[in-house]
A and B are shown apart, each in its own frame.
Chain A
Amino acid sequence: MNKIIIASLRKNAGKTTVMVGLSKALNKKIGYLKPFGDRLIYNKKRLWDYDSALIANIFTLSENPEDMSIGFDHSKLRYMYDEKITREKVAELAANMAQGKDILFVEGGKDLAYGISVYLDAVSLARYIGGNLIIVISGDENTVFDDITYVKKNMDLSGISFKGVIINKIQNIDDFKETYLPQIQKIGVPILGVIPYQKDLTYFSVNYLSERLFAKVVTGEEYLNRTVKNIFIGAMSVNAALQQPLLKKEGILMITGGDRTDMILVALDYQAVGIILTNNVVPPSHIISKAAERKVPMLMVTYDTYETARRIDSIEPLLTRDDKQKIELLGKLVQDTINIQAII
């Protein structure tokens, strides 16, 4: 039974996507746990981590996502468990999730320090469970240098089977490999592979956006699965908008006020994948009909245009179970770039 603990130095390094890619590439029966959840979903009094649900869905795991985490908030863990009980709980969870599996993946918190005060940081998990620790690192070349040097110099990895780092989401991969990788390798931390940045992995669907913005769907519910590739803020005059090259790009999502019928019509003419109507203003019914006719979903939010844009900007493009193409791409990326044998 192989146990792989995946950690990252910083948040949003891509632990889950690397894990999905590894699982696809390995093509084995996997188990999963994320002891300290950080992407909480609470529904009908059930509590689970988004990543747990994602993995359970993609790989058709029989275990419930609710059972893959011990807790989500420091307050609860402090209230309920001490170090000894936490260790026991983690060991019990790992044993349950590993039953009948070839590989058990254990995902750490958003960064290396997360959960340390409640004994659930990634390094502690590696100690409780055993198994191979890998660390996912991403960022520009300077961040990569800093993080790998930090791992080498400042991390106490005694008693842990540390397999190395995976460098993720690198722009200009050829340049990086030629210019920086040799220097990085000299630091002395095993580099398991370098995964290039893939723009396709950063796109999300209109439906994904709708859920994150708590938007009301005005029309076009059937077409929410369309992919957003570019965002256009319709805050200028129509003439000015028509001059913008961005308008002609694929996968445009238009953000504009519900009373800007002129801009909505522009979005419909340019086959936007979706329109977000801000300030809770409902456009006239003939405009809604036109959007329905053109099969363009319209979502309504209470925020103003600036706030909407700001929120969209802060949305993480998390993987969803319907992203079949992305999942295949991840498997292929890992297969092509990572020394999988070195991990297992």
Chain B
Amino acid sequence: MSDNVPDIKYLFEPRAVAVIGASHDKNKLGYHVTDNIVSGGYTGRVYPINPRGGEICGRRVYKTIEDVEDEIDLVSIVVPAKFVFEAVKSCAQKGVKFASIITSGFAEVGNVEEERKIVACARAHGMRIQGPNIFGIYSCVSSLNATFSASCPEPGSVAIITQSGALGLGMIGKTAIEHLGLSAIVSVGNKSDLDEADLLEYLVPQEQTRVIFMYIEGVQDGEKLIKALSAATRVKPVIVLKSGRSARGAIAAASHTGSLAGSDEVFDDIMRQCGVLRAESVNEGFDWCKFIATSPPPPGDNTVIITNGGGIGVIATDASEKYGITLYDDAATLKETFAPVTPDFGSTKNPIDITGQAGRTEYTLALDAALNHKDMHAVMALYCETAVFDSENLFRMIIENSQKYREGGKPLVFSVFGGRKSRDCINLCRDQNIPVFGDVYEAVSCMGALFRYYHYRNASPDQAVMADIDAEALERIAAHAIEQNRFFLLAHEAQTIMKLAGIEIPKSSIARNLDEAVRCSEDIGYPVVMKVVSKDIVHKSDAGGVALDLENRNEVIDAYQAIMQNCRAYNPGALIEGVEIAEMVKPGTELIVGARRDATFGPIVMVGLGGIYVEVMKDVTFRYFPSGRTEIMNMIKDIRSYPLLLGVRGEEKKDIDGVAEVIIKLGSIIQKCTRISDIEINPLRVYEGRGVKAVDVRILLSKFDRSNKHE
């Protein structure tokens, strides 16, 4: 592989572009790509390539790429799949930096080998591949529209990266009618080489881009993406729409581009951790893009609703709660500020109801009052159509105040609800790039997204933490099990790992016969728990191999009999090495804490409500690891059962810090020992004040050696 990796800048700002497969036939993609480049006003040099030669779109056509004497930064390839490899080879040998392969018929239809061959050839010569199976690339900096879209995007400040070609082309059309200007729109297709993370490398520092919107179906190199997104969101907002949320959607996504959607819950949590805003639909994503790209960051959290209708004000209040917006509630200040501009029969309680007779003047006065108050940081202005306010004045009011708020450094969003007048006003505003929405929830959702992003941005970056655990000792234990062709650790091995990590576990001993079982029980002290020890029995409870709360010798004897009989019946061939006698841990709040190597995202950690109901309640959250301590605390707070840890009905607060420590330790174990694929503590008992105890630990090993993952 060549060490020369071209600067990603030349994909977006190529000095010269060639189109292999440029066509004289107006029905062919090769014609449209060439036409779009030329008619889009591309500022660089264009070289259509076609063995027939001649002229296309007023440009000389070269028969081969080799005939072009110029240095070419970007080639669009629009030839049938069977000719792509040769085209790539020619480009690579010529020293082209980027090949944008529009052609489909590769991994998405099972032709993975050909795709790999293409990438290998390109990489050997220091060339990078975009696609295949894409619509191309648009970049407003160089006015380059190297796509086969029906229309040319309007230049602007939103960058779009999309995994779907057809959806991306649709987005180009939609952004045009929505007046959502684009700094770039790029299709990644099969992601055989360049992926979202590579493209972010250009878009994040690029000045024209203020917001980045990504449509993703599947993630291939999750760790790389996480790194890129975490760095990106510190600079500018990233909004993601990911399909494949539902099981059926995941199957559809799998067939669409040959990529598999990972677990959506994991994806969701990780995106939030990276500071990414996750939209539920294209419309929602575009609304957020438009609003965030044109709004100043809020100087604080306090939001005021100004409305001419009580009902819609209540709806906005509900929506604010849903989207996590803090409504300013200092009644005295609100009254003092808004009483002069609100009729007596209105309300100054937030929402500020300036009543149905409010017109341009009344709105402006109220908005000015909020703009000029240091403790009011954002405003949502709602309008229900009335006879007293015509659409021309409405439009003027919206434009003027939007301008004032932009200059004043406070975000302002409008919701305009009504009939034709309202619709006309919305359309006029959108033409002027003013964020106005017909539905109040849409408006509030945008404000919520803005706040979420800036809360994330303003928080201090969390330093990743790692626990100090003897990695070699971990590896030795794992290696020993693997030598025995076992891919899970026995109870005593798991306990050793817990001790290495400093995670408290119940006192325990292994007893090889009934006599030892009785003696161990007496040594540990009643009550005790008894569990079968057998490498052939993983699910001990299912096998009847667990007995709890044994309070005396007779109960130990009975339990021993029962476990032996049950386990032999469950698996007659099982080698039963004995029983583990452990102290019966006193009751506490039960959590599940885990860590694993996710196939997509690499090391992740999990915490949630544990015990026997874990699979029913599914109250768990995830984060990638390594993470910072703040983020680990956030993941604990995100579980619905978090109030249990704060203490209920007179209980003291539980040892939440202790839980965080365990999460960090498990994440560190996964990070340090590549042969361990999964660790789960369920339950982790959490006590009031201080103390946590890992009651049951399950550790699985990977069948593959992941220490050389990237070879």
Contact = CB atoms under 8 A, between A and B. Distances in A.
B547 A42 contact: yes
B561 A72 contact: yes
Interface stretch (B166-174, B549-557, B580-588): B549-557
A287 to B, nearest CB: 13
B566 A40 contact: yes
A75 interface: yes
Given A75-B514, A79-B514, A79-B515, A45 B565 contact: no
Contacts of B469: none
A75 B558 contact: no
A63 B539 CA distance: 35
Interface string A31-54: 000000010101001010000000
Interface in B537-577: 539, 542, 544, 547, 549-550, 555, 557-562, 564-566
A47 B558 contact: yes
B542 A42 contact: no
B513 interface: yes
A80 B557 contact: yes
B560 A75 contact: yes
Contact of A214 (B542, B559, B560, B564): B542
Given A79-B515, A79-B557, A72 B565 contact: yes
Contact of B558 (A38, A45, A284, A302): A45
A83 interface: no
A76 interface: yes
A108 interface: no
Interface in A72-86: 72-73, 75-76, 79-80
Contacts of A72: 561-562, 565
A251 interface: no
A274 interface: no
Contact of A42 (B247, B514, B566): B566
Interface residues of B, number: 21
A157 to B, nearest CB: 30
Contacts of A302: 539, 542
Given A72-B565, A79-B515, A42 B560 contact: no
Contact of A47 (B514, B539, B549, B562): B562
Contacts, number: 48
B547 A40 contact: no
Contacts of A284: 247
A71 interface: yes
Contacts of B550: 45
Given A42-B566, A79-B514, A79-B515, A73 B549 contact: no
A45 B549 contact: yes
A42 B544 contact: yes
Nearest to B562: A42
B402 to A, nearest CB: 46
A284 B246 CA distance: 11
B549 A76 contact: no
B547 A76 contact: no
Contacts of A38: 565
Interface residues of A, number: 15
B666 to A, nearest CB: 24
Interface in B141-164: none
Contacts of A45: 547, 549-550, 555, 558-559
B102 to A, nearest CB: 36
Contacts of B544: 42
Interface string A278-304: 000000100000000000000000100
A254 to B, nearest CB: 22
Contacts of A47: 558, 561-562
Contacts of A40: 561-562, 565-566
A165 to B, nearest CB: 28
Contact of A75 (B247, B547, B555, B564): B564
A214 B560 CA distance: 21
Nearest to A72: B561
Given A45-B550, A45-B555, A47-B558, A73 B513 contact: no
Interface in A176-214: 214
A217 to B, nearest CB: 13
Residue from the set A40, A80, A214 with the largest chain B CB neighbour count within 10 Å: A40
A22 B550 CA distance: 39
A87 B549 CA distance: 32
Contacts of A76: 514, 557-558, 560-561
B547 A73 contact: no
Interface in B125-152: none
Interface string A51-75: 0000000000000000000011101
B541 to A, nearest CB: 9
Nearest to A42: B562
A89 to B, nearest CB: 14
B613 to A, nearest CB: 13
Residue from the set A72, A80, A302 with the largest chain B CB neighbour count within 10 Å: A72
Interface in B491-526: 513-515, 518
A302 B247 CA distance: 20
A73 B515 CA distance: 13
A35 B515 CA distance: 22
A343 B513 CA distance: 42
Contacts of B555: 45
Contacts of B558: 42, 45, 47, 76
B571 to A, nearest CB: 11
Nearest to B549: A45
Nearest to A66: B558
A65 to B, nearest CB: 14
A115 to B, nearest CB: 13
A24 B125 CA distance: 90
Nearest to B518: A79
Interface string B290-321: 00000000000000000000000000000000
B538 to A, nearest CB: 10
A34 B458 CA distance: 74
Contacts of A80: 557
Contacts of A79: 514-515, 518, 557
A75 B513 contact: yes
A320 to B, nearest CB: 18
A71 B554 CA distance: 12
B469 to A, nearest CB: 32
Contacts of B513: 75
A84 to B, nearest CB: 20
A72 B562 CA distance: 8
Contacts of B547: 42, 45
A75 B559 contact: no
A73 B559 contact: no
Contacts of B562: 40, 42, 47, 72
A76 B557 CA distance: 7
Contacts of B559: 42, 45
B518 to A, nearest CB: 8
Nearest to A80: B557
Given A42-B559, A45-B549, A75-B560, 11 more contacts: A38-B565, A40-B566, A42-B547, A47-B558, A47-B561, A73-B560, A73-B561, A75-B513, A75-B564, A76-B560, A80-B557
25 contacts: A38-B565, A40-B562, A42-B544, A42-B558, A45-B547, A45-B555, A45-B559, A47-B558, A47-B561, A47-B562, A71-B561, A72-B562, A73-B560, A73-B561, A73-B564, A75-B513, A75-B514, A75-B560, A76-B557, A76-B561, A79-B514, A79-B515, A79-B518, A214-B542, A302-B539
Interface of A: 38, 40, 42, 45, 47, 71-73, 75-76, 79-80, 214, 284, 302
**8 closest residue pairs by CB, A with B:** A42-B562, A73-B561, A40-B565, A75-B514, A47-B558, A72-B561, A76-B561, A79-B514
